[in-house]
């Protein structure tokens, strides 16, 4: 049985020579510039050569991470826009992708040796997700703590003979003061 073609009203492109000219000009313009646009430098799976698709904003093409969100959204799942006509299909695809990724991850974790697992956990512990501001704040705190530690660990200069003599005198006076507190009538050298 021959499938029936859906019948659409003729588009502007089919009925108007002017629209066709506008379309051709746009395609010519795109073809002229597309070869000079920056290319994706990810390695192709098939032969490990550079991918050469047109790069997106972050230097990778739409397949190799060009669509990965940036900033605060980079580690969150991007859900489809509910208003889009195929939102349900997109959502189902997203959920299936997440499930597949989770399965792949658990397989990988199960195959790890204890040392590899420790290394993996350490890597993830050092890269806690969060907003850019929160991560910067934590970096600053770590830096300050390291500076304070370094300052405390720096060797203190040895006290000079003069300082040692003063410290001895202060200790003697303190002892005398303490003795006076116990017995106010007791005659003393320094306070006589």
Among 27, 34, 64, 127, binds Zn ion (CB under 5 A): 64
Task: Give the three-class secondary structure for 178.
Answer: helix
Q: Which stretch binds Zn ion (CB under 5 A): 47-55, 67-75, 115-123, 176-184?
A: 47-55
Please identify which residue in the block is written with the tokens 């195959």: 111
Is 55 in contact with 40 (CB distance < 8 Å)? yes
Q: How far is the CB of 43 from Zn ion (least distance, A)?
A: 9
Q: Which stretch binds Zn ion (CB under 5 A): 34-42, 89-97, 121-129, 167-175?
A: 34-42
51 or 91: CB nearest Zn ion: 51
Is 103 in contact with 109 (CB distance < 8 Å)? no
Among 39, 51, 59, 80, binds Zn ion (CB under 5 A): 51
Among 9, 15, 53, 143, binds Zn ion (CB under 5 A): 53
CA nearest neighbour of 39 among 31, 30, 51, 57: 51
Q: How far is the CB of 98 from Zn ion (least distance, A)?
A: 22
Size of the site for Zn ion (CB under 5 A): 6
Task: Give the three-class secondary structure for 191.
Answer: coil
Kindly state the DSSP code that residue 54 receives in the 8-state scheme. Answer: B
Q: How far is the CB of 96 from Zn ion (least distance, A)?
A: 23
Q: How far apart are CA 50 and CA 25, in angstroms?
A: 31
56 or 91: CB nearest Zn ion: 56
Among 7, 34, 39, 42, binds Zn ion (CB under 5 A): 42
Q: How far is CA 82 from CA 79, 89, 97, in A?
A: 8, 11, 18
40 CB burial (10 A radius; 0-12, 13-18, 19+): buried
Work out whether 40 is an interface residue with Zn ion (CB under 5 A): yes
53 or 94: CB nearest Zn ion: 53
Question: What are the residues binding Zn ion (CB under 5 A)?
Answer: 40, 42, 51, 53, 61, 64
């Amino acid at each position: 049985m021959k499938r029936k073609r859906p019948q659409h009203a003729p588009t502007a492109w089919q009925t108007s020579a002017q629209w066709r000219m506008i379309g051709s000009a746009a395609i010519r313009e795109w073809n002229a510039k597309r070869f000079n646009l920056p290319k994706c430098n990810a390695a192709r799976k098939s032969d490990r050569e550079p991918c050469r698709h047109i790069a997106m904003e972050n230097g990778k093409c739409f397949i190799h991470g060009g669509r990965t969100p940036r900033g605060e959204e980079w580690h969150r799942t991007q859900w489809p826009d509910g208003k889009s006509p195929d939102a349900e299909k997109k959502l189902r695809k997203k959920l299936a992708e997440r499930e597949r990724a989770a399965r792949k991850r658990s397989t990988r974790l199960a195959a790890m040796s204890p040392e590899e697992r420790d290394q993996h956990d350490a890597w993830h512990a050092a890269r806690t997700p969060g907003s850019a501001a929160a991560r910067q704040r934590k970096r600053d705190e770590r830096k300050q703590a390291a500076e304070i530690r370094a300052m405390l660990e720096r060797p203190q200069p040895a006290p000079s003979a003069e300082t040692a003599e003063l410290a001895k005198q202060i200790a003697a006076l303190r002892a005398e003061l303490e003795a006076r507190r116990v017995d106010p009538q007791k005659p003393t050298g320094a306070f006589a």
